[in-house]
Chains A and B, each alone.
Chain A
Amino acid sequence: MPFIPHTDADVKTMLDAIGVNKIADLFDEIPPELFIDELTSVPSGLNEMELTQLIRKRAKHNKIPTCFIGAGAYEHHIPAAVWQTASRGEFMTAYTPYQAEASQGSLQLIYEFQTMMAELTGMDVANASLYDGATALAEAVLMAVRCNRKSKSKKILMPLSVHPHYRHATHNIVHTQGIELIEVPFDQTQGIINLDALTQYANDDITALVIAQPNFFGNLEHVDELTQWAHEHNILVVSVVNPTSLGLLKPPGLWGKSGADIVCGEGQPLGIPLACGGPYFGFMSCQQQYIRQMPGRIVGRTHDANGKEGFTLTLQAREQHIRRGKAKSNICTNQGLLVTAATIYLSLMGPQGLERVAAHAHANLQQLIAKVTALPDVEILFKAANFHEAVLRFKHPVKDIIKQLGKAGILAGYPLTEYYPELGECLLVCTTETKTDADLEHYVSALAQCLQKHNVNNATECVRSD
C-alpha cells in the first residue's frame, strides 16, 4: 500500500475504537447502489523503481532541440541554487501561509518578492502572484473595470500585437461579465500600435488600453506616447511586460507623465524552467490607490504581541474566503512555489545580472537577424526596435522550415500562420543569453541548407512542369 503506513494491528485497534468491524462499515451512509467494482481501466500500481524505468524511457520521447522559440516562454540559465533551495521540503510542502506564526518563511519571502516586482515594474505595490501571464492579463482587465470609476462602458482596447493566447484567455475569462475587448490593429510596417489607430476612440467611453512591452512580435511599442494619449482620455493603462526585459527597458511606472496604472506579466523568465508549459506564475503590480481592487494574496509587515516584527497576509477581505460572491476574484491557490524560485533567482541575478542577461539576449538577436537576413529570401518583417524576438518572413512554407530544422536538432521558431495568416510565411524567433555563437551559426547554416534544398526542389519542379 503505497504511502499508507497502517499495520493490521493498527487497523484493528482503530476499528475497535470506532466500534465497527471493518473499514467498509464506515461508508454505510452512502447509497449502496453507488459503489463501483474495481477500476479495471486503470493500470496496476508500480513501485518507484518500476515507475522510474518506465518514465525514463518515456522521457526520451520528449526531445529537447536547441530552442529558438519564445512566444511567451523563455529559456534562461537557472542557477542550481534556485531550485535546490526552493525544493526544500519546508518551502515545497508547506501550505498557504494562513497560519502566520507557522509560515514566517514563506510570508517574508513573499514580502521580498512583492518589493522586487514593485521595483522592477516601477510601481507602488505588488501581489503574491496569479496563475500565469495570460490569466494575469484577464485579472488586470477585470481590475481596470473596477478601478476606472469615470468609465461605465467596460470597453477595453486590446491591440492585436498582444500575445494571441493572452487575448483569447482574457476574452474567455471576462466576456461573461459584459466586458468587451476591442481589437486594435498594428502598423504593418512597424509591427507596433500606431497612435493614429487609436484616435478614432478619442471621443468614446473606453475603460482601459492594454500595452504589451515588448509586444508579441518582440517589437518595442512607443509606450510614452500611448500612455499619455490614454491618460488624456481618462483611459487606464494596463501594461503587460516581460520581467527580464525590465533589466534594460523603462519600467511601466515611468511611462508617459504618470506611468501605467496596472502592470502584469508572465514570471516564467525569472528562474522557472520551460517544463512543457507550466507551472509558471503571473505577477501583478499597481499604483497605491488601486491596491484594494487588486486580486490575489498580499503580504504585509506588522508586529507580534511582543512588538517583534513579523509578516502576515493582509487585506484578505478582498478575497473569496471572506467576501465569497463579492470577492475581487475567485483565485485561491496561486503559484507560491514558483514565486519562491523567482525571488531566489532575482536575488542571485541582482540588478547587474538581470541587465546583462537582457543585454545578451538582445545582442544575440541582433547577431542572428544580421546573419539570416543576409540569406536570400529571408527578411525581417517589421522595422520597429526589438528586445529578444523578431518576426522573419520567408518565401518558403514555414512548415517545411520547421520540419527541416527540427531534423537538424533546432526549434526554428513559432509559426505565425495560424494567428496571423495575412502576414504570410512568418516565424517568430527568439534568442536568450543561453545561445552561443556556435548555436547561432548552426541555426544560420541549417536554415541556409534548408532554403537551398527548397530552391533546388522548386527549380526541379519548374523544369519538370516546363
Chain B
Amino acid sequence: MSNVPNELKYSKSHEWIKQNNDHELVIGITDHAQTLLGDLVYVELPEVGQTVEQGDESGVVESVKAASDVYSPVSGEIIAVNEELEQQPELVNSDPFGKGWLFKIKPNNLDELTTLLTAQDYQAHIE
C-alpha cells in the first residue's frame, strides 16, 4: 500500500499538489508513482520564470528502465525548483512528499484546484 496523505490534492497522472497559500503551490510525484518507476537516476525540472498551462509537460523523472513526464496540474508561473534533486534524485524515492518535491507554481487560477482529485479519489484511482 502506498502512502496517500489526506491533506494533499492529486492528479490522475500521479502528481501531488500542496497549497502553501494562494500564491504558492508545491508539486511533486506520489509515492505510488515513485514505486512504479523504481530508483530514480535523474530529474529534469522546468526553468524558473517559465509559464505553464494545466496539463503541460513540465519535467521528466527517469529511472534506469523508464522515464515519465511530469505534467503541471495547474496553470501558472514556475517560481522555484528543487535544485537538490540534481545531485540527489533519490530524494524522490525516499521522501516523495517532503524533500523530494519538484517545483513550485504561482497559480493563475485557483479554481483549477477543484478539477484535481482528493486523497480518497486518488486512492481509488490507483487501486
Using a CB–CB cutoff of 8 Å, the interface residues on chain A facing chain B are 149, 292, 316-317, 322-323, 326
Q: Of A149, A292, A317, A326, which contacts B66 at CB under 8 A?
A: A317
Does B122 sit at the interface, judged by CB under 8 A? no
Using a CB–CB cutoff of 8 Å, the interface residues on chain B facing chain A are 41-42, 44, 47, 62-67, 69
Is the beta-carbon distance between A322 and B67 smaller than 8 angstroms? yes
Q: Is chain A's interface secondary structure helix, strand, loop, or mixed overall?
A: helix
CA distance A97 to B64 in the complex (A): 16
CA distance A326 to B64 in the complex (A): 16
List A contacts of B42 (CB < 8 A): 292, 317
Of listed B41, B44, B65, B67, residue having the most chain A CB within 10 A: B67
List B contacts of A292 (CB < 8 A): 42, 44
A selection of 19 A-B contacts at a CB cut-off of 8 Å is A149-B47, A292-B42, A292-B44, A316-B64, A316-B65, A317-B41, A317-B42, A317-B62, A317-B63, A317-B64, A317-B65, A317-B66, A317-B67, A322-B65, A322-B66, A322-B67, A323-B67, A326-B67, A326-B69
List B contacts of A322 (CB < 8 A): 65-67
List A contacts of B65 (CB < 8 A): 316-317, 322
List A contacts of B64 (CB < 8 A): 316-317
List A contacts of B41 (CB < 8 A): 317
Chain A nearest CB from B41 CB (Å) reads: 8
Known: A292-B44, A317-B65, A317-B67. 16 other contacts (CB 8 A): A149-B47, A292-B42, A316-B64, A316-B65, A317-B41, A317-B42, A317-B62, A317-B63, A317-B64, A317-B66, A322-B65, A322-B66, A322-B67, A323-B67, A326-B67, A326-B69
List A contacts of B66 (CB < 8 A): 317, 322
Chain A nearest CB from B19 CB (Å) reads: 30
CA distance A214 to B93 in the complex (A): 49
List A contacts of B62 (CB < 8 A): 317
List B contacts of A317 (CB < 8 A): 41-42, 62-67
Of listed B44, B47, B63, B64, residue having the most chain A CB within 10 A: B64
Chain A nearest CB from B44 CB (Å) reads: 8
Closest to A292 in B: B42
Closest to A312 in B: B64
Closest to A319 in B: B67
Of listed A292, A317, A322, A323, residue having the most chain B CB within 10 A: A317
List B contacts of A316 (CB < 8 A): 64-65
CA distance A322 to B61 in the complex (A): 13
CA distance A26 to B100 in the complex (A): 54
Closest to B47 in A: A149
CA distance A56 to B40 in the complex (A): 56
Closest to B67 in A: A317
Chain B nearest CB from A320 CB (Å) reads: 12
Of listed B42, B62, B65, B66, residue having the most chain A CB within 10 A: B62
CA distance A329 to B58 in the complex (A): 21
CA distance A276 to B100 in the complex (A): 55
List A contacts of B63 (CB < 8 A): 317
Closest to B65 in A: A322
Chain A nearest CB from B33 CB (Å) reads: 15
CA distance A149 to B44 in the complex (A): 14
Closest to A318 in B: B67
Q: Which 7 A-B pairs have the closest CB atoms?
A: A317-B67, A317-B62, A323-B67, A322-B67, A322-B66, A322-B65, A317-B66
